[in-house]
Amino acid sequence: MQIGEVAARVGLSLRTIRHWDEMGLVVPSERSTGGFRLYTEADIERLALVKTLKPLDFSLEQMRDLLDTIDGLESDTGSDAERSSELHGRLAMYRAATDSRIEALRAHVQGLEMLSRELRRLANGRSR
């Protein structure tokens, strides 16, 4: 699938997809004879994952490392126990970081809900 079709399907700009390619986050699996980027379903899934990670404050380096970890786990045959252990350790680190962000977001949402209730109360003209 060419970049324009992918951009429309995933909801990203051409510029963003090209930037992520240049950064090595999502490199198209193929190129046409004319040099056009060609994306597979796996590439599109990877773009969707990066799109999900971006607003969650993961740095480009963290995203690249997480994607490398996922790639490593998906291709892990178990023949290298040390490498497998390292990959699982990195995955556990990202899971812990994700869980921590979830808790921080929950606290943030609770604060916003309290503020919303107070503003609603004030808008209705009720004092404490």
15: three-class secondary structure by DSSP: helix
CATH topology of domain 1-56: Multidrug-efflux Transporter Regulator; Chain: A; Domain 2 (1.10.1660)
Question: What's the token pair of residue 97?
Answer: 């970081």
74 phi and psi angles, rounded to 5 deg? -70, -30
Q: What is the pLDDT of residue 22?
A: 93
Regions of the chain where pLDDT drops below 50: none
What pTM was computed for the model? 0.77
Q: What is the pLDDT of residue 127?
A: 59
The label of the residue with tokens 């990195």 reads 90
Domain edges within the chain: 1-56, 76-128
pLDDT in tens, 23-36: 999 999 999 999 89
Q: What is the pLDDT of residue 68?
A: 93
- What is the distance between the alpha carbons of residues 101 and 119, in angstroms, rounded to a whole number? 27
Q: What is the pLDDT of residue 128?
A: 58
